[in-house]
Structure 1
Amino acid sequence: MAADTTESGSGTPVVERLKSYVRTQKGTILAAEIVLSLIILICYASSWYGGYTAVAICEMVFAIVFFCVFMMDLDKQLSVISWVWSDLIRALTGTLCYIITSLICVIRGAGDGALIAGGVFGLIAGILFAYDTYTIYLQIKSGRTHTAAPTGEGV
């Protein structure tokens, strides 16, 4: 008996969610962060000083986790965690880590082309993470509603 290929499999909704989420601004930013972190990881791993790979690995894993959470709408189901603030902290630490380590790599990397390339890509990633931080900040700022606090005085 042949398998029925006209019906969609169980993996198709995930693929469709992936495609539609990557088309959003946040999905594009997170996907670019993942790809840049992978490129930086490869550059750092092929250099003489492999110790800087930890930054690329951590930032790539965090970006993948947040990509999956936002893609699958788990942020709406798991309301115990403030996902927007967690994402802001992730992007801010990614910005600082990439800019600091990339400057060190570019300055120190004389004679090590892979380390300099990783540093240059790291500076680009630092700018991307900074842009992500800015967009998250705008999202938090616009999401606040300003209501008058109760003063306890009766009318």
Structure 2
Amino acid sequence: MTKRKIKLRIHFLCAVLLISGAKSFGQSIGYFPFNSLLTVSTNPEQVLWADFRFQTNSYFTSLSTEVAPIFNLNKNNKGRFYLGPGFTFNPFGFIEDADVNLFEGYSLNFGVRSAPLEKLPQLQFAFEVSPFAAQSFDYGIFRTRMGVAYNFSRHRKMKRQPH
């Protein structure tokens, strides 16, 4: 498969995910401080949602971006376990090196988002295990992440309920 075909497939995948999540995009935002990772998600209360992850505190030409379709494995409001693949790419790598590949690799994300505070159910704590493999599968990294998220869609639901 040529580099051009791979790039076209990645662009197609990103477009499909963006279009499918356009109605509910940006309903949750999170930050993993130990990994310098900012996430913007569609509604994580749904069975299927998308997570867009942006690496911060890095050189501009090495900003890894991950698109991850996520499946919730349970419906517990106190803690939701999730699983989903991730596709990592670097949209700015060509600035430094014209021959750099846009697509960097794959990951499998397994985690939990917990909302333990009853007075503030939109605040969530996240823990994730995410093994990563480079596109050529010549190396990999076992990643773990811990962070915090705020779910705007849960806040709207809480306001609508009568007291």
TM tier, smaller: under 0.3
TM-score scaled to structure 2, two decimals? 0.26
Higher fraction of helix: 1
RCO (CA 8 Å, sep 6+): is it higher in 1 or 2? 1
Q: TM-score, normalised by structure 1?
A: 0.27
Structure of greater Rg? 1
More strand per residue: 2
